[in-house]
Structure 1
């Protein structure tokens, strides 16, 4: 049986996030959003927990045998994210308190902070698809 395909998307800011979620219609695939800090020139996020989680998440997704949509969302620079008025924090759809945060869209399941880098927790989140 051929491996299922994970479709990846990258959203670079809050406006792109809003546009994307407004266009989610009835879906045949579950959608997951990973919110992370923007990348510096070296290609790594300014957020240390995002740096730690990224390779674990990527490795897990490369082995995942499911049809899902996985969306990376850049929450911006540190100063923008740290502002209490940051729209990612105040938007009722995301309600972010920490990054990284991995959300299953349309559900209550989420992983926050260092949880995103724990393979067993990733497995539990994605197994809820059944």
Structure 2
């Protein structure tokens, strides 16, 4: 069963990952730009990827945590000091980005729209 959470901003993300137990379910985070009044992100690539990622996660029958992380508005994201860019655990360069927490797997940009790559990302490493 996929547990879905929404996190807004770096501080909320940071607080949440500090609560993750190493024995807990696998955690996957999807980083996207803030939503505009119409409910879509300011980031066009995020707008394209989000419905694909959400549909995939809704159909998935695995025990994992799926976190949607709002990285902020365009100026905040573009800043060289954006904590999502500078955090050594993340080192985000583009959005959307999907990462497996405490893993090395990640999808960036248009890779996030590829269902076969999403499937490989969630497969167990056993």
1:11 aligns with 2:7: yes
The equivalent position to 2:72 in structure 1, one of 72, 76, 85, is 76
Please report the TM-score for the alignment, with normalisation by the length of structure 1. Answer: 0.93
Gaps of 5+ in 1: none
Tell me the alpha carbon deviations over residues 31-71 of structure 1, each in whole angstroms, 9 at most, x when there is no partner.
00100000000000000110000010011111111010000
Q: How many Å separate the matches in 2 of 1:117 and 1:31? A: 19
1:68-89 per-position Cα deviation (integer Å, ceiling 9, x unaligned): 0000110000000001110100
Q: Distance in 2 between matches of 1:36 and 1:27?
A: 27
Are 2:27 and 1:31 equivalent residues in the alignment?
yes
Q: Please provide the CA RMSD for this pair.
A: 1.0
Residue in structure 2 matching 1:48, options 44, 52, 55: 44
Deviation at 1:103, TM superposition (A): 0.2
- Equivalent residue, structure 2, for 1:93: 89
Structure 2: state its 5+ residue gaps.
Answer: none
Alignment check: 8 A CA contact 1:30 1:129 kept: no
Q: Following TM superposition, where does structure 1 have runs of at least 4 consecutive aligned residues deviating by more than 2 angstroms? A: none
